[in-house]
């Protein structure tokens, strides 16, 4: 009888142990399920946020596309109207060369039309959709060409130019586009140093490509301006088109690269233009 009770007790203990094992396994599975559920919910939220951001970006690009088409049409119309006006101004100058006061007024008119033509060129550069016409060229020589073209302005503003180029191989890109991007970055730096300062260039070879850093010793850029500086038509300068940095961003984008800005108020600003290597350059 005692032996039968012992067996019964053992069976109860085994059943209890089995039930405890089952409950422990159930608890573990429940915990894992809750963790998986939380992970899935977090991933769904992340993907939802990412989708909303992509939708906002797509809507912004669509608006910019429509605006770009309109701006291109306006720019072409304005340029067509500027051609005869410029001719008339040239003829008028010949007639009033002896009249100093009239010539001074004409100088101001021509300067205004020069600014207008620059605005039209900015619009056309921003709205023109074309693939880069790539070629091999020295980025250092391009920087020197830009500084050479702005020599008188650099001297007039008492700007000291400092370069650190190093042994960087030529890049493969659209030279005209990169020239315009560098020119805009330099002009932006000059605007930040009206009373003189230091303009620094550094070219370095990175793993992904070549980087050109352009730094000024100006007053720096406020946080709100840093967030919006590459937006088309955003400008903190009176009379500015707000397209200079947007064009730089477009040039970087069509080359598969990027442009970055690092600035703090009172400590100047550094813009870095990154041009990636072409596939055949990576293979080589």
Picking from 274, 54, 114, the residue whose alpha carbon sits closest to that of residue 185 is 274
Least confident interval from 5-14, 57-66, 198-207, 214-223: 5-14
The answer for residues whose C-beta is within 8 angstroms of residue 263's C-beta and 6 or more apart is: 220, 221, 226, 269, 270
Q: Is 284's pLDDT higher than 50? A: no
pTM for the structure as a whole: 0.62
Mean pLDDT within 42-49: 84
What is the spatial distance between Cα 56 and Cα 61, in angstroms, rounded to a whole number? 9
Crossing angle (nearest 10°) for helices 100-127 and 2-95: 150
What is the spatial distance between Cα 61 and Cα 73, in angstroms, rounded to a whole number? 18
Burial of residue 72, with CB atoms counted within 10 A of its CB: 0-12 exposed, 13-18 middle, 19 or more buried? middle
Least confident interval from 45-54, 96-105, 215-224: 96-105
Element (H, E) at 149: helix 139-149
Mean pLDDT within 149-154: 88
Residue 280 dihedral angles phi and psi, to the nearest 5°: -70, -25
DSSP3 helix / strand / coil % (the chain, rounded to 5): 65, 15, 20
Q: Is 97's pLDDT higher than 60? A: yes
The answer for residues whose C-beta is within 8 angstroms of residue 205's C-beta and 6 or more apart is: 166, 168, 169
Residues 265/219, Cβ–Cβ less than 8 Å: yes
Mean pLDDT within 126-146: 85
Q: Is 38's pLDDT higher than 50? A: yes
Least confident interval from 4-18, 35-49, 86-100, 257-271: 4-18
Q: Tell me what pLDDT residue 283 has.
A: 42
What is the spatial distance between Cα 255 and Cα 174, in angstroms, rounded to a whole number? 8
pLDDT tens, residue by residue, 57-66: 776 666 666 6
pLDDT tens, residue by residue, 241-278: 677 888 899 899 889 999 999 988 888 999 999 999 86
Q: Give the residue with greater pLDDT, 134 vs 58.
A: 134
Looking at the chain, the whole-number percentage of residues with pLDDT higher than 70 is 76
* Average pLDDT along the chain: 80
The answer for residues whose C-beta is within 8 angstroms of residue 1's C-beta and 6 or more apart is: none
- Name the 3-class secondary structure at 131: coil
Q: Tell me what pLDDT residue 282 has.
A: 45
End-to-end Cα separation, the chain, in angstroms: 89
Burial of residue 118, with CB atoms counted within 10 A of its CB: 0-12 exposed, 13-18 middle, 19 or more buried? exposed
Q: Is 280's pLDDT higher than 60? A: no
Q: Tell me what pLDDT residue 225 has.
A: 81
DSSP strand E in the chain: where?
Answer: 134-137, 159-164, 171-174, 197-205, 209-216, 258-263, 269-276
144 vs 9, 50, 217, 243, CA distance in Å?
A: 95, 42, 19, 23
State the sign of the Cα–Cα–Cα–Cα dihedral 46, 47, 51, 54.
positive
The DSSP output letter for 232 is T
What is the spatial distance between Cα 176 and Cα 254, in angstroms, rounded to a whole number? 13
Model confidence band, residue 168 (pLDDT cutoffs 50, 70, 90): confident
């Amino acid at each position: 009888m005692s032996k039968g009770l012992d067996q019964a007790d053992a069976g109860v203990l085994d059943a209890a142990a089995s039930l405890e094992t089952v409950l422990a396994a159930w608890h573990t599975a429940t915990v894992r399920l809750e963790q998986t559920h939380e992970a899935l919910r977090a991933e769904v939220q992340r993907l939802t946020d990412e989708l909303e951001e992509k939708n906002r970006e797509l809507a912004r690009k669509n608006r910019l596309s429509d605006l770009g088409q309109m701006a291109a049409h306006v720019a072409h119309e304005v340029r067509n109207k500027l051609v005869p006006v410029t001719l008339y101004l040239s003829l008028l100058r010949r007639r009033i060369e002896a009249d100093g006061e009239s010539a001074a007024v004409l100088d101001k008119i021509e300067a205004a039309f020069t600014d207008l033509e620059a605005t039209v060129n900015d619009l056309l550069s921003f709205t023109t959709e074309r693939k880069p016409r790539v070629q091999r060229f020295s980025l250092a020589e391009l920087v020197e060409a830009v500084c050479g073209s702005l020599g008188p302005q650099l001297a007039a503003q008492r700007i000291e130019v400092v370069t650190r180029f190093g042994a960087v191989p030529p890049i493969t890109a659209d030279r005209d586009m990169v020239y315009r991007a560098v020119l805009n970055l330099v002009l932006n730096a000059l605007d930040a140093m009206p009373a003189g300062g230091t303009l620094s260039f550094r070219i370095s070879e990175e793993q992904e490509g070549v980087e050109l850093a352009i730094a000024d010793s100006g007053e720096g850029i406020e946080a709100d301006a840093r967030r919006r500086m590459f937006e088309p038509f955003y400008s903190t300068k009176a009379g500015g088109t707000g397209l200079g940095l947007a064009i730089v961003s477009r040039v970087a984008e069509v080359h598969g690269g990027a442009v970055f800005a690092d600035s703090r108020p009172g400590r100047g600003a550094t813009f870095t233009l990154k041009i990636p290597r072409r596939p055949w350059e990576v293979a080589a």
